Structure 1
Amino acid sequence: MFVAGDEGVYLSTDRGAHWKLLAGSPKGVRQLGLDDRDLYIGTGAGVHIIENATSKPEKARKLAVDLAVDSLSVGERVVVAAGIFSGAVLSTDRGRTWRAVSGSWGKKDAVPYIGVGPSGDVQVQTIEGSPDGSGAKNLWVSKDLGRTWKAKPAFDKVDVYSEVGSFPDRPDVQVVAASAGIFTTRDSVDFQRIGVPDTSVNALAVAGSALLAGTPTGSYRSTAPLGRELGAGYQDWGWTGKIPHTVGNTVNALETLPGKGNDVLRARNAYCPGECFFIEKSGDNGRTWSGLASFPGNSHSVVADPKDPSRVYTGAYLAPALYVSTDGATSFTPLHDTELSGVNGLAIDPTRPSGVWIADVSGLYLSTGADLPLAKAFDGRVEAVAVDPKNPSHVVAVGQGLLKVSYDAGKSFADGVGLPEVFYTSVVFSRDGALYAGSRDYYVAGTGVLRSTDGGKSWKVLPNQPADHEVRSVLVSPDGAWLFAGTMASGVHRLALR
């Protein structure tokens, strides 16, 4: 067995009980492909090979491929690799020589996947950039090693593949891992779902009686998580047989509008064909969405002023900027677009007119208007900021190796104590004044969710943790009954608070 990651490739010869790092293997490995004896390795800089990997592994050797590999696959006679925005390549001589893979799709189309199917056919997925960020998609299949291609119909049930394979006793049935789950198909046209996926949850919000989750494949809603008892099928959120677009549908921020009943905002990152994002609104608790405004870059944040819900802010990460709307997110004006390096999170500052805290990759900032300079509270990569709803002078900010608290409306910040040196992703106040912070892997393993009962001065790791300790988002339900944690790869988990 081989596994790979940041440090390189590890080998186990006893069914995973013990592992050994292969000497000379490249770092930052993204993909692996194995034929009978040789291991192919995809990294951000190209393709490597470890010959005789299953017997006497040789030192990894770089092959003549210079692209950031996002997908890699190996068949009996062929090795294929592709980068989403750098094209695809193919080799029929164990990686000695390569040729570009081209077909009827456009030269500028994104290639999110290339693979070799169980029958030896080469499959390529392409996405054409579009103004709405979704992109026209297609699946192309070649049975002659890329010389000719046949287009398959659009696949609403599956969207973008991440991997294909087959069961040993059913080589004619292709198994597909995709954003909507695990599927089987015999013709790459009709699919049957056989498994429900775990996924990354970037944002959480409660709208009416439903919990909303922002993921890399759109936003999902379920009324089950807010109930005391969880009925059968509660883990399958809103499956209708049609998956939203994978590319152009990443939701990193959700905001329930105060005093607006069923109204919710979300920030959806897209491919237009460059990076862009949309602010969209739902008037039915997240069931349906309509577009309001679009911006360059992408976004991790949208927030509304509790005292004036028509005043909405959003921040851009790529093409850094802070934008404000005074008409309920129908139109926006840039406030700051030169001082910031990448906005991660926002929080309204009730102590100042037009005040908003900005968690940026370069520090924590305070904005009080377009005509006034940004005030910087401290340096560091800040991921999220929260203001105590009962005491607006109480501010907490978290980020890379930092968790800081202020009791004087941001004039000074002190470090929390009892903290592991991890990457903090999110922070939220509960109704009883407790604080909860999420952490995830960045340079060291995450520790899950931490809690503070003294306003952020000291912190302890919660004894009850999600199975996945890499937590991207935390939320306390409005009634204070539940703590929700959105994880890196295992969906949403909940903990009863009372």
Structure 2
Amino acid sequence: MASSTVRAGSDKWEALGPFASAATVEAISRPEGGSLLLVSSPETVGGFWSGGLGGTWRVIVPPTRCPVTTCLVGSHADPRRWWLSTGALSEAHESGIFRTDDKGSTWQRLATEPAPGESFRSVCAHREGRFLVAVTAEGSMQVSRDGGDTWKFEDLTADREVADGGATFHDARLEHGDRPVRVVAFAQHGNALFAATAGVWYPGNPPVITAGQGVLRSTDNGSTWHDASGDLPNLDVRTLAVDPDGPCLYAGLRGGSVHRLAL
């Protein structure tokens, strides 16, 4: 796929919170049904949850000895069940996958450990909540097919068969001016594809610093991209989530804020 330059545009975003100025929103979970919104933020230890899609927020207290919450995801089948992945800053901390069935009041550590020297980066759940995938920052992956009771390592280097032999995979590159754009998350709604872009520091002499370019939108399978950042206060966007019950897109920003865009 040819390189494409981001074109300017304007969209109106609604600020939802939680506005922890020293934090970064790393993940947003919006389970279908009800009005639950979950936000993970490593700098605030656990994260936040809202039972009214951002009307009010409550702090999530993670399990003990787990100061870094790397991801938080809710169950589509049961609004009380959440899964949480934690990272490790030192040997005194634990990296693991935890589950709560009472909205974070108590946590159960699941029977899985990251590979030696690795730390869990994210966890995601299928709609029914039985199929889970946990990925480490170093690239290994574990899968559970029973809601987290048992886990199995998956070999990401093994040959995989896809329906069209891989014919639909193309090399893609986004540019803003003469610099590449760092894409950290994707989301899809109908025929629209959204990309979250974040700032990045490239080592060198002198080092190269590339700012985030906000949220980008493509309606032609990624051939061209348009700016969808509108009035976002910060273009360092770390995560995206589509509302399964309504035409809305959520964006999490560096600076601890969550914003919603009507689609």
TM-score over 0.5 for the alignment? Answer: yes
- Is the 1:212–1:286 contact (alpha carbons within 8 Å) kept by the matching residues of 2? no
Matched, 1:213 2:25: no
* Structure 2 runs not aligned, ≥5 long: 1-17, 201-208
Matched, 1:324 2:146: no
Structure 1: how far apart are the matches of 2:213 and 2:231?
Answer: 9
Report the count of equivalent residues: 228
Q: Which moved more, 1:264-273 or 1:446-455?
A: 264-273
Matched, 1:333 2:152: yes
Deviations 1:29-52 (A, max 9, x none): xxxxxxxxxxxxxxxxxxxxxxxx
Determine the structure 2 residue equivalent to 1:472: 238
Determine the structure 2 residue equivalent to 1:436: 194
Deviations 1:196-250 (A, max 9, x none): 6442011110144121001111121013435xxx5xxx4xx2159xx76897332
Q: Which has the higher contact order (CA 8 A, sep 6+)?
A: 2
Matched, 1:374 2:193: no
Structure 2: how far apart are the matches of 1:374 and 1:286?
Answer: 37
Matched, 1:493 2:255: no
275 and 333 in structure 1: CA distance in 2 versus 1, 3 angstrom threshold: farther
Structure 1: how far apart are the matches of 2:70 and 2:231?
Answer: 23
Mapping of residues 290-369 of structure 1, within 5 Å: 290-296=108-114, 297-306=118-127, 309-318=129-138, 320-336=139-155, 367=156
Structure 1: how far apart are the matches of 2:83 and 2:243?
Answer: 17
- CA shift at 1:410, angstroms? 3.8
Mapping of residues 60-75 of structure 1, within 5 Å: none
Q: Give the share of equivalent positions with the same residue, in percent.
A: 28
TM-score, normalising length from structure 1? Answer: 0.40
SS of the aligned residue for 1:201 comes to coil
Determine the structure 2 residue equivalent to 1:425: 184
Matched, 1:249 2:15: no
Determine the structure 1 residue equivalent to 2:205: none
Matched, 1:238 2:22: no
Structure 1: how far apart are the matches of 2:230 and 2:251?
Answer: 12
225 and 302 in structure 1: CA distance in 2 versus 1, 3 angstrom threshold: same
Determine the structure 1 residue equivalent to 2:12: none
- CA shift at 1:315, angstroms? 1.4
Measured on the aligned residues, the alpha-carbon RMSD in Å equals: 3.4
- CA shift at 1:485, angstroms? 0.9
- CA shift at 1:294, angstroms? 4.4
Aligned-partner residue type, residue 223 of structure 1:
G
Structure 2: how far apart are the matches of 1:224 and 1:198?
Answer: 24
- Is the 1:417–1:458 contact (alpha carbons within 8 Å) kept by the matching residues of 2? no
- Is the 1:429–1:476 contact (alpha carbons within 8 Å) kept by the matching residues of 2? yes
Determine the structure 2 residue equivalent to 1:127: none
Structure 1: how far apart are the matches of 2:66 and 2:112?
Answer: 13
TM-score, normalising length from structure 2? Answer: 0.72
* Structure 1 runs not aligned, ≥5 long: 1-180, 182-194, 337-366, 368-372, 378-391, 394-407
Deviations 1:404-423 (A, max 9, x none): xxxx4744422447643111
